[in-house]
Copies of this chain bind each other. A is one copy, B any other.
Amino acid sequence: MHIPSSRITINDIARLSGVSKKTISRVINQSPLVSEETRSKVEAIIAETGFVPNAQARALARGRNSLIALVHDGSDRGILEAVESGMLRGMEGSEFSLVLRPVEGDPVARLRSFIDQHRPTGIVLLPPLSESEELTLLCDETETRCVRLGRVRGEHGLACDDRTAMSELVAWLIRLGHTRIGLVSGPETSLTAQQRELGYLDAMADHDLDRGPALIAAGENSFESGMEAGRLLLEVSPRPTAIVACNDEMAAGVIQAAQRSGLMVPDAISVVGFDDTPLAARIWPALTSMHIPWAAMAQEAVSRIRGQAMAADDAPALKADLVIRNSVLPLENQSGAT
């Protein structure tokens, strides 16, 4: 016997309260088909005994486990912390638990066997996996609820407008007098990164500024790729007076590259990030960044999976928001050199 007999089950409760298992089950599941009297009697006994329904048995009977999985490919670690804590907040006080599921290699096959094995109630997909239609199809097939973060179109999507947000960010730099603005782009396979790049191009075009390829360096969302891209952009002549990176990790890399080569930020060059991850506040100079409400989106995603999607009015605004810190100076206050 694996399970200590001390562990109490629905049968014990049934016996103690003199009703059938099924009635206990109804009480547990808030079924309206129970008399007030019976319900309160049973509830008292449950409280008294500290009975907790066994999630495995339940999962087996229902064909669904009380798990919600966070599925990502590890390509953008910066936003993970916010997403995790948002999801956890959304599950607080519920029966649900959070499972971490990185998938590398063939995402469809990996995810399929994960779902077959654990039958989670739902999964939250992060970019760029959230951009795959295949994965959504897989969830439909397996009756797994699915929310795609950072991907607006489609019924399963939840995102804010990256393109507009980036364009506003760049427009803000332009208002500060900057005209030569470099971009560190994200992986070209990521639609989210593409949207951000388009936002940059929008703003530059709106103000008739040079948006030639020389001012754009390709990154991979990682700190290291940001450093590398930063080095490239710093050698462009004439040098950009501001650089915007498609996420905070890369922005931190740009700052590192700049300071190492003796260009102080923001005195010699301004740098801005995107996402507003915890890293932004911890580096020096503290990074000005466009806040993307990943935590709020993740929390809302969990609500949807739990079937408690808020009314449109109550839903959190899910809007991007500029957070000004210390990594940007108006052009007129910048010096040309160290």
Which residues of A approach B to under 8 Å, CB–CB? 2-4, 7, 50, 52-57, 59-60, 62-67, 77, 80-81, 84, 88, 95, 97-102, 112-114, 116-119, 141-143, 223, 249, 252-253, 255-256, 259-260, 278-279, 281-286
Contact = CB atoms under 8 A, between A and B. Distances in A.
A52 B110 CA distance: 12
B97 A99 contact: yes
Contacts of A113: 50, 52
Contacts of A98: 99-100
In order of increasing CB-CB distance, the 3 nearest A-B pairs are A2-B63, A56-B59, A52-B116
Contacts of A88: 100, 102
Given A2-B64, A62-B2, A249 B54 contact: no
7 contacts: A2-B62, A54-B116, A56-B56, A66-B117, A253-B282, A255-B284, A259-B284
A56 B65 contact: yes
Nearest to A101: B97
A112 to B, nearest CB: 8
* Most chain B CB within a 10 A radius of its CB, from A56, A102, A143, A285: A56
Given A97-B99, A97-B118, A116-B7, A286 B56 contact: no
A219 B279 CA distance: 19
Contacts of A67: 99
A60 B60 contact: yes
Given A117-B55, A282-B223, A282-B252, A63 B3 contact: yes
Contacts of A116: 7, 52, 54
A52 B259 CA distance: 52
